[in-house]
Amino acid sequence: MATLILTFLLLLLATKLPESLAGHCTTTTATKSFEKCISLPTQQASIAWTYHPHNATLDLCFFGTFISPSGWVGWGINPDSPAQMTGSRVLIAFPDPNSGQLILLPYVLDSSVKLQKSPLLSRPLDHIRLSSSSASLYGGKMATIRNGASVQIYASVKLSSNNTKIHHIWNRGLYVQGYSPTIHPTTSIDLSSFSTFDVTSGFATVNRNSGSRALKVTHGVLNAVAWGFLLPAGAVTARYLRQMQSIGPTWFYIHAAIQLTGFLLGTIGFSIGIVLGRNSPGVTYGLHRSLGIATFTAAALQTLALLFRPKTTNKFRRYWKSYHHFVGYACVVMGVVNVFQGFEVLREGGSYAKLGYCMCLATLIGVCVAMEVNSWVVFCRKAKEETMKRDGLAEDRCSSGIHS
């Protein structure tokens, strides 16, 4: 039942949208009004536009925010393919290194930018027909660039008459070296800042983020249930049920069933993690990945150890038990720690799913404490009974010696 509740709470991740990362759109600025607007799924960004079908011209305004006083905010169009930074033509706003005033320059993101082979240099945009562009801070000329300052990037673009879909990207960075913006942060959110929208209907499609998030949620749910709950529960059954002489060897089969189920689910979750890593080049969660590999390796060694389990009469049995206990508890600790790391990776540190997991884990710990106290009470009672028996036998022997 606890496993079902935990799974249900974790599945809330799949339906919970990162509202704090989405912007609230508006069709009105201090200088212009637009017909349509949409909120973009990341970085609290949004975009407003007016499409003129008689000449296929698109007037738009992108709303973004700075994350550093010396940073940059950019928006652009990929004329060739969706969900790609490479090949995009972008407009990037940042403070002029000399005057400190906000400037807007055009850049072409070719393959050398992704590989960081050379600084990003401004150059005229090709493949898209840009009529005009400008940028301003929210608050007008008196506004200053600071952490969290809002920026508006205006552009007029001539579209093809038979194509009303725009593949656009947006992002922001911490620094500008001269007039060369440096690489943006490489979190999963920053690498998901792209979508496609139709300028006539306003319908927007996030090309990859939804599928990627579904995979991440599946990865998180499976691993939280497997490494974060089932394996600890299996360790608890082995420690406390074996002391119940009434159930005989049944405790071992319960323990093995729980651990094997956890290992199988964890293997699926681990495999999904490998796929996510391959699909996200440049994104590295070092501690989460290292703990995941270590946990899976320890669990695999535990499973293989069953094949070499000595008989109770074998002299190597005690060494095998010591190995089994050490590796098993290490696997449990690393698995639980990595579940909490996973919540941070998914930016769900304050979610109800994490709260639900903590409650399930706290319940399991509570059961452990209760069982441990009960074990010590039983142990002390048996020790006292044994002492009383020994004292009784000693008295009987003394009495027999006196009478004889």
Give the domain ranges of the chain: 36-198, 210-393
pTM: 0.56
Topology, domain 210-393: Four Helix Bundle (Hemerythrin (Met), subunit A) (1.20.120)
Look-up: residue for tokens 């394996």? 231
Beta strands in 83-127 (DSSP E): 88-95, 102-109
Say what the pLDDT of residue 1 is.
Answer: 52
Residue 75 burial class via C-beta count within 10 angstroms: exposed 0-12, middle 13-18, buried 19 and up:
buried
The domains spanning 36-198 and 210-393 adopt the same CATH topology: no
Cβ–Cβ < 8 Å for 171, 74: yes
Say what the pLDDT of residue 80 is.
Answer: 81
Task: Report residue 246 CA to chain centroid gap.
Answer: 45
Query: What is the Cα–Cα distance from 153 to 354, expressed in whole angstroms?
Result: 38
Query: What is the Cα–Cα distance from 282 to 210, expressed in whole angstroms?
Result: 19
Tell which residue, 136, 128, 122, 137, has the closest CA to residue 156: 128
Binding residues: 219, 255, 288, 324
Amino acid letter for position 268: I
Query: What is the Cα–Cα distance from 231 to 239, expressed in whole angstroms?
Result: 12
Helix intervals (H) in 280-351 = 286-305, 317-345
What are 387's two structure tokens? 């002492």
Look-up: residue for tokens 């600084």? 119
Adjacency order of strands within the sheet including 36-39: 36-39, 46-52, 57-65, 150-158, 129-137
Side-chain half-sphere of 136: how many Cα atoms within 13 Å?
12
Say what the pLDDT of residue 396 is.
Answer: 57
Give the number of other CB atoms < 10 A from CB of residue 132: 9
36-198 CATH: 2.60.40
The β-bridge partners of 107 are 90
Stretches where the chain sits below pLDDT 70 are 1-23, 83, 114-116, 139-144, 188, 206-213, 280-284, 391-404
Binding residues for heme b: 219, 255, 288, 324
Cα dihedral: 308, 312, 316, 318 (round 10): 110
